[in-house]
Amino acid sequence: MHNAGMDSTVTSGENRRTGRRFDVCNGDADGLCSVVQWRLHEPSAATLVTGLKREIALLERVPAQAGDEVLVCDLSMDRNRDALMRLLDRGVRVRYFDHHAAGEVPDHPGLQAHIDLASGVCTSMLVDRWLRGRFRAWAVVGAFGDNLRGAAESLAAAIGLNAGERERLRRLGEAMNYNAYGDDESDVHIAPARLYPLLARYRDPLEFVAREPVAHEIDALRCADLARAMEQAPWWQGDTAVVYLLPDAAWSRRVIGSFANELAGAAPGRAHAVAKRCADGTLTVSVRAPIEGAGRRARIVPAIRRRRARTGRRNRPDARGSLRGVRAGIRPDALGYAGAARGPGRHRRGSEVMFFSLEPGSAFAAALASELGVEIAAHEERRFADEECKLRPLVDVGGADAFVVFGLHGGPLDSPHDKLWRLLAFVATLRDHGARRVTAVAPYLAYARKDRRTKPHDPIGLRYVAQLFEAVGTDALIVLEAHNVAAFENAFRIPAISLEAHRAFGPLIAELANGGPLAVASPDPGGVKRAQLWREALEEQRGTPVGFAMVDKRRSAGVMSTRGLVAGDVAGATVLLLDDLIGSGETMRQAALALRGAGAASIVACAGHGLFIEQAAHVLADEAITRLAVTDSVPAFRLPPDAPVRGKLRIASCAPLFAQAIRRLHAAG
């Protein structure tokens, strides 16, 4: 359905018309991704009007007047008809994309409507169709968020996304969609109006996932809420139906619909009702009929709605009495299907977590196990006279969700090659003996720096390591601060997660910053994105501006030089100089000297990994570097115990970051 009353020849980036612009959309994944695509196509300043998932009548909030333009995405025209007609009558030009029931589309010269009610279509796909696929990856996110997995997979295949990339976009879409659920904005992790400007920075949503912590935060919240819901025992269950009662809380207001979907997917032959207590004593109920026979839902929903009406505000706020009504509404005769009964108190749970560490006496593994509240499972490692080795678990891993921790840095006893082999062999052994899923947790990943060819006939070590992990059946990989996040994610066809080291330094910031002006710097052009991400996070946390700078580093024939060039203003500031790792320390030293020359008051050299090779203890003792901060991903065993540089060193624990990622993976199943 296409009403072409509006001129469609606006060129991206040009303001051919005067007047204000308003972007109006649902706050879920489909609505936001639709607007992101359009503004990438036509990057004009516009006022965003959005809300939570259930806030549909948004056009009445738009104060547009004659000469203004309004973009509407993913909002029912039928629900916004009166406000739409008032805008058109005032001389406002409206472009409308939607896939919901619209009723009769007005025939008005100021309206350009793109309405498609076909199944398997969402608004992001309509915008993608209009833009001829220019920003299709965002349409993939919107389609996944709208639960159109088949359509999303087709769009993803059309632009050549691999399995790992599709999985990351699926999780983003579902998390964005989930983020829009709640009774009000206090229930959600980030209001849709605040999420949109973060999304709009990126032409590629994969870069958004790699760079913005909020992408992982909203996914983690969704997984945590679902895990919490799964721990609830049924309030009532019969042969063909089950009822759950959730408390009145922010997490339950978010999860009620998603929990019902999860239950229906796990037991498609049963009916499910998830009820939530409300503050006024009434109940909100989300109902799913058996998937076998979609028409049955039409019989169950009216029954539930009648029961809800009878247990409203005028009746006593007795949740058990109300739920008896809900239970009665889910009748076997109404469903016409005899599902299998569950025993009393039985409900779906995730498989058991098993946590292994292949590094004897590892302080990091012990800290991570403590964060997770689990024991380190027993395993055996035997070395033979010819230096071959054998590893095996000493516990039954059948059906387990196994996580194997092993940092792949060299030393103090073994090379990276030895460690890599042992990790691969142990992962394969767990799979052979029935583990449901095996995740490798490598705080430091060997060969990650060799992610591209720099000379003819060069190897690409990262890709080869990825192929080895995939070959032995690794289901996912978690590392800290990959050298190049985009190259790291593209190398793997399994979920590959790179955690951001700067998040571990949060507790140290007050000590490191000394209360004065602050700036974040990259020691070379390749680390600009990493440093920018930390700067933005600090500005949001502190509520004050944080400076930014980059040092121009060049390397020729193995010789590195900064030439003293600094881009950015660091005069009088404490500079947090961030890199993925510290090797010999020479990069940090030369960058610190350049920043000091540009007027920096002090330099704190920060890195995810402290390898401290060669003469690092001597190089990093240079007075240009005030302090050092690294995580505990690699033990600082190469620094002599009495080295003066140890007086500068602060070590931050990255165990909480890994624990959060592990919980997220486990909760997602």
Active site residues: 553
Task: Report the C-alpha gap between 529 and 13 in whole angstroms.
Answer: 25
Q: What amino acid occupies position 13?
A: G
Task: Report the C-alpha gap between 76 and 117 in whole angstroms.
Answer: 11
Q: How many CB atoms lie within 10 A of CB 64?
A: 23
Answer whether 37's CB lies under 8 Å from 45's CB.
no
**In terms of Cα–Cα distance, which of 605, 663, 123, 3 is closest to 350?**
663
| Phi, psi angles (nearest 5°) of residue 286 | -110, 125
SS3 659: helix
DSSP 525-540: GGGHHHHHHHHHHHHH
> And the tokens for 8?
């469609």
CA-CA-CA-CA torsion for 616, 622, 628, 631, nearest 10 degrees? -10
Q: Could you give the C-alpha distances from 622 to 71, 375, 578, 644, in angstroms and in order?
A: 57, 42, 17, 10
* Element of type H or E holding 158: helix 149-158
Q: What amino acid occupies position 140?
A: V
Q: Could you give the C-alpha distances from 276 to 139, 235, 304, in angstroms and in order?
A: 33, 12, 13
For tokens 């076909």, the residue is 118
SS3 287: strand
Task: Report the C-alpha gap between 396 and 386 in whole angstroms.
Answer: 29
For tokens 């009665």, the residue is 328
Contacting residues for 123 by C-beta, under 8 A, at least 6 apart:
30, 31, 34, 73, 74, 97, 98, 99, 142
> And the tokens for 210?
């790699």
Q: Is the peptide bond before 344 cis (omega within 30 degrees of 0)?
A: no
Q: How many angstroms separate the first and last alpha carbons of the chain?
A: 40
Which three-class secondary structure string do you get for 442-511? ECCCCCCCCCCCCCCCCCCHHHHHHHHHHHCCCCEEEEECCCCHHHHHHHCCCCEEEECHHHHHHHHHHH
Task: Report the C-alpha gap between 294 and 290 in whole angstroms.
Answer: 7
**In terms of Cα–Cα distance, which of 659, 592, 639 is closest to 366?**
659
Answer whether 123's CB lies under 8 Å from 30's CB.
yes
Distance of CA 376 to the CA centre of its chain: 28
Task: Report the C-alpha gap between 447 and 459 in whole angstroms.
Answer: 11
Task: Report the C-alpha gap between 460 and 463 in whole angstroms.
Answer: 6
